[in-house]
Structure 1
């Protein structure tokens, strides 16, 4: 259970937390409840109880359950995109960039499995605001990889986006499958397998300035 509001004051009243600390506490409690019960079954009463606060305190920070859920999604969606962007910026070695993008998803799944389920296995995916956030994750990750592919290969943006979407989709699906399967393959090996699969495809694209050959060349049907 998430800790309540800290040590009590001498008169027995709970210590008041700074607003940012209280918000962090409430989000942690909400995540536990949403993952355990799903959005529809979760109640604000449950979240307040898990956080050790009264409902009025909870409503001071979040006007409703949906707003609380969206705040959690925003937090984790931004984290995933930041991880992929960091992988792209960490090196100029494209093979390592591919591996880094794969690792970003597996690291998130491994260390933040509750958050991953919250984002990608939500029972509220048909809610427009939720769907927009999930799509924003995919767009953000695709954009980060697209820029790298364009700068290195010189292919058009539409082609680079298509390649990037394939890498993102593979990483997301494989990481989700790995988690659901109980992590039967060691994480480092799973990352290496998927990175090798992805790299063997992307490595066939020449660096910018090199001659383009084959069915994928600019202007050629694929």
Structure 2
């Protein structure tokens, strides 16, 4: 019976098998964390032998990084979609904050790989986490630069500040038990962000005006 199951597992198309392994790994890493999870646990959760798992992912770190990359890509895409969903910047701010809060409250648990990894000391993980913040900030900076005529460096600094605002507040909201309804939470944070960013002129830039 085990042999038949193993035969069926090897006959699964490679892409489908990889997706199945990632799904199982997501459940194990989310429930146990990176350090407590074992490749044996992931193989068992996926219903495959450990050699089959190693055929797709040479190590536990490779498996974790694949999940991290997928989670980072998801976050970038939801922010990209949020920015493209409206023409008015006030609506873009609301949509972007909504996107962060939807991401951290998703049942998939993807946000844990991006925001709550227990492997942040690893250089490869740090690189990916920094990269996702850079990508999101670049998307927001493009909008700021286009609408305010601020130089690129200043636009990027404002953008990374907005990213930090959205990330930290969303993580706090989840960790505190989500006692504030999501609609109220996103409204509060969106108003804070918009009241800050709307103060910059639509054209030109005079630093003295900020004093």
Q: So what's the TM-score if we normalise by structure 1?
A: 0.87
| 1:38 and 2:50 matched | no
Which of residues 122, 131, 134 in structure 2 aligns to 1:127? 122
Instruction: Give the aligned length.
Output: 207
CA contact (8 A) 1:154 1:207 kept: yes
CA contact (8 A) 1:153 1:206 kept: yes
Deviation for aligned residue 1:75: 0.3
Distance 2:203 2:13 in 1: 52
| 1:177 and 2:172 matched | yes
Distance 1:113 1:189 in 2: 23
Distance 1:28 1:194 in 2: 32
1:71 matched residue in structure 2:
66
CA contact (8 A) 1:29 1:51 kept: yes
2:158 matched residue in structure 1:
163
Deviation for aligned residue 1:214: 5.0
Deviation for aligned residue 1:14: 3.0
Distance 1:203 1:144, change over 3 A: same
| Secondary structure of 1:189's aligned partner | helix
CA offset digits 1:69-127 (Å, max 9, x no partner): 00000001011011111112222200011111111110101115621112211111011
CA contact (8 A) 1:151 1:208 kept: no
Which of residues 74, 78, 92 in structure 2 aligns to 1:83? 78
| 1:193 and 2:168 matched | no
2:8 matched residue in structure 1:
14
2:57 matched residue in structure 1:
62
Distance 1:156 1:176 in 2: 30
Distance 2:107 2:164 in 1: 19
1:137 matched residue in structure 2:
132
Distance 1:213 1:46, change over 3 A: closer
| Secondary structure of 1:185's aligned partner | coil
1:118 matched residue in structure 2:
113
| Comparing 104-113 and 145-154, the one that deviates more | 104-113
CA offset digits 1:115-140 (Å, max 9, x no partner): 11122111110111000111111101
| Secondary structure of 1:124's aligned partner | coil
* Structure 1 spans left out of the alignment, 5+ residues: 1-7, 217-221
* Structure 2 spans left out of the alignment, 5+ residues: none
Q: So what's the TM-score if we normalise by structure 2?
A: 0.92
Distance 1:92 1:81 in 2: 19
1:202 matched residue in structure 2:
197
Distance 2:8 2:38 in 1: 23
